[in-house]
Amino acid sequence: MQPFRSYSGLLVGFIVFGIVIWLAHRVHGELNDPGFAQTVLIAVSGWAGGWLIGFLVAPNTSNELKNLSQATSTITAFVAGFIMAKIEPSFTPIFEDGQLMNEPIYGIRVLIFIICFVVAAINMYVFREFNERY
């Protein structure tokens, strides 16, 4: 019964991803914004990041736990050093002159990223936890 739950959880995750992409398409049509491909890319990157985090927090074996802890340390160091230094200049144009408030697509893209990230992380965690035990 438990493997069925993990597979059904994955199915629900893919359904949620499809709904998010459909809603993004509708929003882009209503806002007359041609950046739908960028929004899909943001959604996919959120999905991939969520799967990675879900994979890292749910190791199946002790050997995998050891390897993943090393990978997690490396990824954390990379994110803390290089990415954080590069992110701030990228966000400056978004926040200047009230552009974030004047263009709702930025907020929509952030929400799409967060939704995809969280759903994918939960899916991967549940899938690995339930398939490990049963």
Residue 67 sits in which domain range? 2-133
Average pLDDT in the 97-110 region?
A: 75
pLDDT for residue 68 is more than 70:
no
The H-assigned helical ranges of the chain are: 2-31, 36-56, 62-78, 84-95, 99-102, 104-133
Tokens representing 73 are 């340390």
pLDDT confidence band for 115 (50 / 70 / 90): very high
pLDDT band per the 50, 70, 90 thresholds, residue 1:
very low
Task: Supply the mean pLDDT for the chain.
Answer: 78
Confirm whether pTM is higher than 0.75.
no
Tell me the two tokens of residue 118. 């969280």
Paired tokens of 67: 């390897």
Q: What is the spatial distance between Cα 69 and Cα 64, in angstroms, rounded to a whole number?
A: 8
Number of domains present in the structure of the chain: 1
Q: What is the pLDDT of residues 2-38, one digit of tens each?
A: 666 667 777 888 888 889 999 888 888 888 888 888 8
Residue 105 burial (C-beta neighbours within 10 Å; 0-12, 13-18, 19+): middle
